[in-house]
Structure 1
Amino acid sequence: MSKKKVLIINQNIAEYRIPILNLLSEYYELTFLHTEPKKYGTKLKFKEKVVANINLPFFSFLKVNLHKYCNQFDVVISEANIRYLDRDMLIINPFRNYKWIGWGIGVSASYDKKFDQNNKFDCVRHFIFKKADANIFYSDYPVEKYISAGFSKESLFVANNTTEVFYDESVNYEKNSILFVGTLYKQKKIYELLKAYKEAAETVNDIMPLNIIGGGEEFENIKSWISQNKLEDKVSLLGPIFDQKLLAKYFRSAYACISPGQAGLSVLTSMGYGAPFVTVKDAITGGEIFNIKNGENGILYNNHSELPDIIKNIAERPDLYVEMGLKAREHYVKSRTPEQMAGAIRDAVDYVISK
């Protein structure tokens, strides 16, 4: 039997998505339509098509006869974003012959707005994506909300957002540090972490070092801050690291990964490597924060004034964080691997094909 033809539409192919997409290509004849230059070559086990993107105020659309192109496929999966005018029109088109699946967070979220904070466009979002044949969410948070809005429960799927980790069981690492990983800009509250670490270091003898991995607009300012506060022997600003083995070493050597302002895919990376994730309860997130069970596999605190005490607690009771790290790793292995995410997407595809 020939494979069903599946098209995924997004603005770009995120590198962390490639393992999931490659897994899907084992079951479907997969094509990815995007707007950026090709750059991954033989890493991809699926076809890609690049088209231009046209941006308007609030809306954007692809410079291609999208309906004609989609007619070549059995199923189309696209990012569930109401700003993509051409995709919105095809979703509500009652005469399309191909099945359509929306895929995304399911609620409003961005780098400057809290998760599900802005719901003024919910009625528009629900009107459009109720016309899709199915919807896939990054977490189970939106499911009940969509059912309450009149969506069929059977048409809603959860492919928990995740990323691949490179965990070598044959190698052991000694826990010896605290970690921050991410682009260095103010929204991630990196200075809250630095100030909290400094406060903790002033009262805890031989506090464990803080490793900061990442580059960005605040890199030089952070470097100056570390020098001005005489923390060069405690805080290492390591810059971006792309070597997966080296990243694995830093994650697995960390008692905890702390990100005061954002809880995105680093939550899953940290858990996959056995480091509990520490963040504020209302951190910017795409739903990944819901993986954290406070005090069990990570820490969710109420406000930033609590962070110095958390860092002190890591230094004074490291055994607690080793145990949380083991539970974080267990959570990842049991329910958040790329194979499990790809499996949930397959469930949605098979559902719409069977309709």
Structure 2
Amino acid sequence: MDKEFNCSFYFGDRVNSDIKKLNYQDLNGFKEELSNVSILNTSFSWQKGAWYKIFKNYKFFLITGEPYYLSNWALIILGKILGKKVIPWAHGIKGDYNKMEWFEKLFFKLCPLVLLYGNHSRNIMINKGFNPDKLICIYNSLNHDKQINLRNSIKPSQIYFEHFNNKNPTIIYIGRIQKSKKLELLAECIHRLNKKGINCNLVFIGKDLKDNNVVKTAKELEIEKHVWFYGPCYEEEKISELIFNANLCVSPGPVGLTALHSLTYGTPVISNDNFNTQMPEYEVIKPKKTGDFYQENNIEDLIIKIIPWLKINNTLRDEVRKDCYKVIDDNWNPKSQIITLKKIFVNAEN
């Protein structure tokens, strides 16, 4: 966006996680960091200084699509009065029960357009009476250009043979090691698969948030020699090698950007089938083509879904790689997102 548009960037000063802040100096358009303030210890917040940016000489405003930031309401309402387009980029409305749905619906109804991460929430919102023409899927992305360069040069390596000293298929998980991902379930799967004689290895790549028992579980199940706790890794060259040489990626809980990362390097993904609590990136999983879904929390079903992916031959594995690449290259990348934004801006001006 910084390269393609003449735009200004304003960021909040904090998020409720350990995500590292962007280096603002990398952006020519960076203007200011705004203070996020909680309102009376509720779920509502206010972003100081955001609302009066509507009076600046901007034609469009892309905002985080968070209804519980009341400063967003101020921007949208003032935008309608002043004839300016204030467009949220949002998860939208999900299908699970939410007593505040009326509040969210009113927020999105006030917007001229809503950019959504995926089709699941778009379909739900259409069923709830939203105009389909005002709901635009813009998806999500990683550093696609760099990853494509690595993908074009990567070759099979012996990284897992050298670590495990066996040629068993390898299952990978990449992302933060945290309770919500239900990774103990994955460790239990490896234990049961190996007992069935379907020997396989398991690799965890990511920072351990210490709110889970996956290390303890692996020890108790005596599968430590089959599990590699690789730890956090931020070198894309090494990440690409680890993912490319794995047979399968599994995220028993919500899958998120893990799915994009894995498919980018041609490795299929399995995650759970509770789409109302999934992250939007689950949509890249196409059953039997780029992965599969198992019945949430059902370890026996997870094992059933894993086994075929560990047994496919090299020819079929190459076809799976191509299917994975295509999903990411078609929509889930920055270039596709920029094309979508350009269409929106041109159509709005016309």
Q: Please state which band the TM-score falls in when normalised by the shorter chain.
A: 0.7 to 0.9
Q: Tell me how far 1:171 sits from its aligned partner.
A: 2.3
Pair 1:243 & 2:228 matched: no
- Give the TM-score normalised by the residue count of structure 2: 0.83
What 5-or-longer segments of structure 1 have no aligned partner?
1-23, 109-115
In 1, distance between residues paired with 2:122 and 2:303? 36
Pair 1:92 & 2:92 matched: no
Q: Is the 8 A contact 1:211 1:237 kept in 2?
A: yes
**Which SS does the other structure have where 1:254 is aligned?**
coil
Q: Tell me how far 1:41 sits from its aligned partner.
A: 4.5
**Which SS does the other structure have where 1:204 is aligned?**
coil
Q: 1:131 to 1:41 in 2, by over 3 A?
A: closer
Match of 1:337 among 328, 333, 336: 333
Q: Tell me how far 1:150 sits from its aligned partner.
A: 4.5
In 1, distance between residues paired with 2:180 and 2:133? 37
**Residue 90 (structure 2) aligns with:** 104
**Residue 12 (structure 1) aligns with:** none
1:106-121 residue pairs with structure 2 within 5 A?
106-108=92-94, 116-121=95-100
Q: Percent identity?
A: 20
Give CA deviations for 1:119-174 in whole Å, capped at 9, x if unaligned: 43333222222222211111122334434544443332110222224132122125
Q: 1:324 to 1:39 in 2, by over 3 A?
A: closer
Q: Is the 8 A contact 2:205 2:231 kept in 1?
A: yes
Q: Partner amino acid for 1:306?
A: D
**Residue 83 (structure 1) aligns with:** 68
**Residue 112 (structure 1) aligns with:** none
Pair 1:326 & 2:322 matched: yes
**Residue 312 (structure 2) aligns with:** 317
In 2, distance between residues paired with 1:313 and 1:279? 15
Bigger CA drift: 181-190 or 24-33? Answer: 24-33
Q: Is the 8 A contact 2:190 2:201 kept in 1?
A: no
Q: Is the 8 A contact 2:205 2:233 kept in 1?
A: yes
In 2, distance between residues paired with 1:157 and 1:280? 25
**Residue 165 (structure 2) aligns with:** none
**Residue 227 (structure 1) aligns with:** 219
**Which SS does the other structure have where 1:120 is aligned?**
coil
**Residue 74 (structure 1) aligns with:** 59
Q: Tell me how far 1:25 sits from its aligned partner.
A: 2.3
**Which SS does the other structure have where 2:8 is aligned?**
strand
**Residue 345 (structure 2) aligns with:** 349
**Residue 13 (structure 1) aligns with:** none
In 2, distance between residues paired with 1:202 and 1:348? 55
In 1, distance between residues paired with 2:196 and 2:127? 51
Bigger CA drift: 161-170 or 185-194? Answer: 161-170
Q: Is the 8 A contact 2:188 2:221 kept in 1?
A: no
Give CA deviations for 1:3-57 in whole Å, capped at 9, x if unaligned: xxxxxxxxxxxxxxxxxxxxx2233222221122875144334324102111011
In 1, distance between residues paired with 2:112 and 2:71? 17
Q: Is the 8 A contact 1:101 1:132 kept in 2?
A: yes
In 1, distance between residues paired with 2:237 and 2:128? 45
How many residues in Structure 1 have an aligned counterpart in Structure 2?
A: 322
In 1, distance between residues paired with 2:256 and 2:221? 29
Higher relative contact order (CA 8 A, sep 6+): 1
Q: 1:274 to 1:202 in 2, by over 3 A?
A: same
Q: 1:318 to 1:255 in 2, by over 3 A?
A: farther
In 2, distance between residues paired with 1:336 and 1:59? 31
1:1-355 residue pairs with structure 2 within 5 A?
24-36=1-13, 39-56=22-39, 57-64=42-49, 66-72=50-56, 73-93=58-78, 94-108=80-94, 116-165=95-144, 166-167=147-148, 168=150, 169-174=152-157, 177-204=170-197, 207-218=199-210, 221-282=213-274, 284-302=277-295, 303-317=298-312, 319=314, 320-354=316-350
Bigger CA drift: 165-174 or 297-306? Answer: 165-174
Q: Partner amino acid for 2:62?
A: I
Q: 1:190 to 1:71 in 2, by over 3 A?
A: same
**Residue 19 (structure 1) aligns with:** none
In 2, distance between residues paired with 1:220 and 1:154? 43
Q: 1:174 to 1:310 in 2, by over 3 A?
A: farther
Q: Partner amino acid for 1:76?
A: F
What 5-or-longer segments of structure 2 have no aligned partner?
15-20, 159-168
Q: Is the 8 A contact 1:51 1:62 kept in 2?
A: yes
**Which SS does the other structure have where 1:107 is aligned?**
coil
Give CA deviations for 1:255-306 in whole Å, capped at 9, x if unaligned: 1110011121111111111010111111642321122111111111223322
- Give the TM-score normalised by the residue count of structure 1: 0.82
Q: 1:134 to 1:41 in 2, by over 3 A?
A: closer
How well do the aligned residues superpose, as a CA RMSD in angstroms?
Answer: 2.4
**Which SS does the other structure have where 2:305 is aligned?**
helix
In 2, distance between residues paired with 1:142 and 1:212? 30
Q: Is the 8 A contact 1:136 1:345 kept in 2?
A: no
Give CA deviations for 1:313-353 in whole Å, capped at 9, x if unaligned: 33333545553333111221223221102221232233333
